[in-house]
Amino acid sequence: MYPIITNSDLIEVVYKKFDELKKYDIILLEYEKTVFAHRIVKKYKNFIITKGDNSENNDDFFTFEENYIGFVTNIEKNKIKFKINSKYGILFYFLGDLWKKLLK
């Protein structure tokens, strides 16, 4: 999720019903015994498609409700807390994409 979330950041996660999740939400999920945060890029009734902000492609797996852990509500960077939700998530998504292009 770099540059939005880095290794030194803290994230706050709460449970939100799977059917209430929206495009651009950042979620914590488990896949093949690994836990990570990725952004929702497409939502279907029974599964979602996610992508890391620093990745060119969507994840090559579907996230089902049993893989979903929680919804990222806040990111703390250098002791400053940023509230994340779908409205701001869109902004962070595009700023992250712009940042990635500037670093190339």
- Rg, Å, the chain Cα set: 13
Class level of CATH domain 10-103: mainly beta
What are the residue ranges spanned by the domains of the chain?
A: 10-103
Joined tokens for residue 9: 């950041």
What pLDDT sits at residue 38?
Answer: 95
**Burial (CB count <10 Å: 0-12, 13-18, 19+), residue 73:** middle
Mean pLDDT by runs of 10 across the 104 residues of the chain is 81 94 93 94 96 92 97 86 67 65 66
Return all residues near 32 (Cβ < 8 A) that are at least 6 apart.
Answer: none
Entry pTM: 0.80
pLDDT at res. 72 = 94
Q: What is the number of helices (H) and of strands (E) in the chain?
A: 1, 7
| Confidence (pLDDT) at 33 | 94
Given this model, what pLDDT does residue 5 score?
A: 83
Extract the tokens encoding 95: 């700023």
